[in-house]
Structure formats: structure tokens, C-alpha cells
Amino acid sequence: MPVDFSGTWNLVSNDNFEGYMVALGIDFATRKVAKMLKPQKVIKQDGDSFYIHTTSTFRDYLLEFKVGEEFDEDTKGLDNRKCKSLVTWENDKLVCVQTGEKKNRGWTHWLEGDDLHLELRCENQVCRQVFKRA
């Protein structure tokens, strides 16, 4: 059975989100608000087609892609940059490389027990998030 990330997931931990936001150039006032948030992710997966909607009381962000197909990503409402993004499978991990102005930018999703993990990378910063099923 291939891995299936589908579901509604609530953030339960968020390690070094501050460092990740600083690396993205998010201003102090926005970081202050953002770090209080407990975002939810709604993931719909149909084979290699993904819909990932990250929502919060402050901003929300929708990403739709197919694994193996590069797409133009506009991080509107986040750091408002444009990048070329490509998501691939590395075994059961979903790995995204976001090529653009910021070096070493990307993220990785995987399942561990009942938890959804997300590592967010930018420059020399790594943010580790864990989500539980709602």
C-alpha cells in the first residue's frame, strides 16, 4: 500500500519556526503573530496528485501539484516570492525543492506512527513541525 497523507491535521509542535521565518525575511510584527498560530492542514491525495491547504486564523495557503511535475509557486501571503517547485518521492517521504532567490529552500513530509511530520528548510534554518489527526 502506498503512503496516503490524506486527512485533516492539527499542528502540535513547531520547532524553530522563528529561525525559518527570519531566513525568509518575515518582519518582526508578522513573526510575532505567526508564531502564535496553530495551523491546520487539509491534505487530499489521489495517487500522485496533491491538494495541501494550510489554514489559520491569520493567513491560509493552498498548494496543488503532481509529484514529478515542476510548477511555478507563488508564496502569496507567506513571503510573497516566486519559485520553481518540484515534489518527488524519496521512498515514503514527499520531498519538495523550491528553486528561487532563497538557497536550500524546500520541505519534506512523512508519516511517523499516527503523526504527520513536516520539515521546512530555508538557507541554514530547519523548522520541524508535527501534526496530529483532527
Give the interface with ligand YOG as residue ranges (CB under 6 A).
21, 24, 26, 30, 34, 37, 39, 41, 52, 54, 56, 58-61, 63, 78-79, 107, 118
Q: Please report how close the Cβ of residue 82 comes to ligand YOG at its closest, in angstroms.
A: 14
Q: What CA–CA distances, in Å, run from 1 to 86, 105, 117?
A: 24, 30, 19
Closest CA to 54 of 112, 105, 120, 114: 120
User: Do residues 18 and 35 lie in contact, with contact meaning Cβ atoms separated by under 8 Å?
Assistant: yes
- In the complex with ligand YOG, the residue whose CB is nearer, 58 or 89, is 58
Q: Please report how close the Cβ of residue 109 comes to ligand YOG at its closest, in angstroms.
A: 6
Q: Please report how close the Cβ of residue 88 comes to ligand YOG at its closest, in angstroms.
A: 14
Instruction: Label the pairing between strands 93-99 and 82-90.
Output: antiparallel
